[in-house]
Amino acid sequence: MISLTLTRLSDVLHGELHLGPDAAPGDRVDGLVDTDSRLIEPGGIFVAKPGEVTDGHVFVDAAVERGAAVAIVERLVPAEITQIVVADAVTALADLARAVVGTVRDAGRLRIVGITGSNGKTTTKNLLARILEDEGETVAPRASFNNEVGAPLTMLRVTEDTRYLVSEFGASGPGAIARLAGLVEPDMGVVLMVGLAHAGGFGGIEGTFRAKSELVRALRPGGVAVLNVDDPRVAAMAPIAHERGVSVRWFGRGEDAEVRADDVEVTADGTRCTVTAGGRTARLHLRVLGEHHVMNALAAIAAATELGVALDACVERLQTVELAERWRMQPLGSDRVRIINDAYNASPDSMAAALRTLAQITGPGERTVAVLGSMSELGEYADEEHDRVGLLAVRLGIQRIVVIGQAARRMYLEAVAQGSWDAEAVFFATDDEAYEYLMGELRDGDRVLVKSSNSAGLRFLGDRLGESFS
């Protein structure tokens, strides 16, 4: 974080300053900000955020032991540390992020890119950050830090030397992206797709469209919206951009895309394609598994080239990326039994993309095995969409379909109804039961996809299988 005096920090937070031992109002702090006391470093700022399970105020002493200089609290606690008492810790975190990013932007050449979409945000964020980090200091979220706490924590990592801030914006409900993007008013917004992920929380697909379009509405006048021309709902955001005085840059697989991919070839060691951007072409070998990640790469290239990075440099840097993020199409196991652990998130679109990838990368003499759990936050669409996954798995010819958990049972029932029999489709209530089955069932040449929403917990089963067959 940039350096601030304790007085200035308190003013930004609209808080009440209580000095700790030997502290003075003019003392400066510039350490990292965090809500997790275990991650606090010497000189850091600990935000004691109340939570559903525990209360951050309980961990102020732990933060002191790790060297925290300041605690942002909602009530004074008996600890020997400077404390700033605020009305709401999460609101204070947002206020601090707004002030810090605004100060850096006003003083230098900071460019801010926001990314949203029903799927692919984290992968695209990581790909774009990899391109930009060779251009100058780049700040991007750890993991999926994209909510009301994670996004500001990322923003607060900027310094006077930061050239690029890449922010990932998730949406817990209507207005969430508007609030987060409104903290920094991005210069560029990337919208990947509008799908059914979290549709239950938005009242359907049109509600999701409105939520994702909040990023375009939050862009600075004169900024750029990088939009997926292949997704009609994303393409429909162009008029919103124009109303805001924002230009549009299109990416996609179709001829209308300014940044597009042709000659796509999917293999077990990644995806190859020819990328066209700005009248130039380059051959890309994207080692992140899955044809669907080509679109994420195109989005990153579209944003980076708009920021002035040459296409050849974009391609060269992307080819160094082997894994988008842990638990996202993560190869585990061995050549004998390959495990693909993609169980951090799941939506109808990402589930279909992962199943198609499994079918595409499995060669002659190898067997496809799909280990599937539930997709969360689908609301009224849950039954229908779980049925569709079971149907798709059968139509793709997946040879073993292992469904885990009551919330996903309809996948199994649909697979059986569509003709998957003789133990081709099996159901287990728990991942322990499924693990015991798989340890006896898997054989040399199997290619195994583990896919579910985070809440189903199958990512740990994927890790377990990967360890067993490493």
Query: pLDDT, tens digit, for every residue of 323-373?
Result: 878 888 999 999 899 999 999 888 999 999 999 999 999 989 999 999 999
- Evaluate whether 358 touches 368 at the Cβ level (below 8 Å): yes
The alpha carbon dihedral of 207, 210, 212, 214 has a sign of: negative
Q: Where in the chain is the domain with CATH 3.90.190.20?
A: 330-468
d(C-alpha 438, C-alpha 450), whole Å: 12
Comparing 302 with 204, the larger pLDDT belongs to 302
Q: What is the pTM of this model?
A: 0.89
Distance CA 35, CA 62 (A): 12
138 has binding-site annotation: no
Q: How far apart are CA 192 and CA 324, in angstroms?
A: 16
Rounded to whole angstroms, how far apart are CA atoms 363 and 355? Answer: 15
Percent of the chain with pLDDT over 90: 83
451: which 2 tokens?
A: 């896919």
pLDDT at residue 26 above 90?
Answer: yes
Q: Has residue 379 got a pLDDT over 90?
A: no
Distances (CA, A) of 127 to 40, 101, 321, 367: 27, 22, 8, 31
The fold of 92-318 is: UDP-N-acetylmuramoyl-L-alanine:D-glutamate ligase (3.40.1190)
Q: pLDDT tens, 385-436? A: 999 999 999 999 999 999 999 999 999 999 999 987 767 999 999 999 999 9
Using alpha carbons, list the distances in angstroms from residue 383 to 103, 408, 459. Answer: 49, 9, 22
The superfamily in CATH containing domain 330-468 is Mur ligase, C-terminal domain (3.90.190.20)
| Percent of the chain surpassing pLDDT 70 | 98
Confidence (pLDDT) at 462: 97
Alpha carbon distance 110, 147 (integer Å):
22
Q: What is the pLDDT of residue 202?
A: 59
Mean predicted confidence (pLDDT) in 22-46: 95
* 228 annotated among ligand-binding-site residues: no
- Of residues 143 and 343, more confidence is placed in 343
Share the mean pLDDT of the chain.
93
Q: Is the pLDDT of residue 78 over 70?
A: yes
Q: Torsions phi, psi of 149, nearest 5? A: -100, -50
pLDDT > 70? residue 228? yes
Q: Has residue 21 got a pLDDT over 90?
A: yes
Is pLDDT of 199 > 60?
Answer: no
Alpha carbon distance 84, 72 (integer Å): 5
Sign of torsion over alpha carbons 117, 118, 121, 124: negative
376 among annotated binding-site residues:
no
What is the structure's pLDDT at 196? 66
Mean pLDDT of 138-166: 92
Confidence check: pLDDT of 264 > 90: yes
Q: Is 420 annotated as a binding residue?
A: no
Is 102 a known ligand-binding residue?
no
Over range 299-313, report the average pLDDT: 98
Whether 150 has a binding-site annotation, put simply, is no
What is the rounded average pLDDT of the residues 434-445? Answer: 96
- Tell me whether residue 117 is annotated as binding: yes
Q: Which of 261-265, 378-382, 455-459 has the lowest mean pLDDT?
A: 378-382
Q: Where in the chain is the domain with CATH 3.40.1390.10?
A: 4-86
Give residue 201's pLDDT: 56
Write down the pLDDT at residue 118: 87
CATH for 4-86 is 3.40.1390.10
For tokens 């067959």, the residue is 469
